[in-house]
Amino acid sequence: NAGVTQTPKFRVLKTGQSMTLLCAQDMNHEYMYWYRQDPGMGLRLIHYSVGEGTTAKGEVPDGYNVSRLKKQNFLLGLESAAPSQTSVYFCASSYEIDTGELFFGEGSRLTVL
């Protein structure tokens, strides 16, 4: 039972490079989220999606883009990476929001030099 899978798990980028983080879930969840976690800051929402073909901005969307072309996949793109985007990125999905149960991937550790 895979749950939520994130790729890659680790990546080092140079400033200005681009990359895409892939999140895949096999639970048929409608809602998907991308968070970043920094020391002392907790989890901050970057973008989210309430269904296939929809995306919306979260708390810290600048410098990121997302797409949800298929229900099971939620992609997070960095067009021109900056050192401030060094962080641990978590993808999550949920069937509904009221239960409060988000299923998280294992995280992707990104370092921008």
Partner 1 sequence: RKEVEQDPGPFNVPEGATVAFNCTYSNSASQSFFWYRQDCRKEPKLLMSVYSSGNEDGRFTAQLNRASQYISLLIRDSKLSDSATYLCVVNPNDYKLSFGAGTTVTVRA
The residues binding partner 1 (CB under 8 A) are 31, 33, 35, 40-45, 48, 50, 56, 58, 90, 97-102, 104-107
CB of 62 to partner 1, least distance (A): 17
Q: Closest Cα to residue 23, out of 39, 38, 35, 12?
A: 35
Cβ closer to partner 1: 64 or 90?
A: 90
CB of 50 to partner 1, least distance (A): 6
The number of beta carbons lying within 10 Å of the beta carbon of residue 42 is 9
CB of 4 to partner 1, least distance (A): 8
Cβ closer to partner 1: 19 or 43?
A: 43
The number of beta carbons lying within 10 Å of the beta carbon of residue 47 is 23
Q: Closest Cα to residue 57, out of 68, 7, 85, 49?
A: 49
Q: Which two tokens stand for residue 65?
A: 């883009």
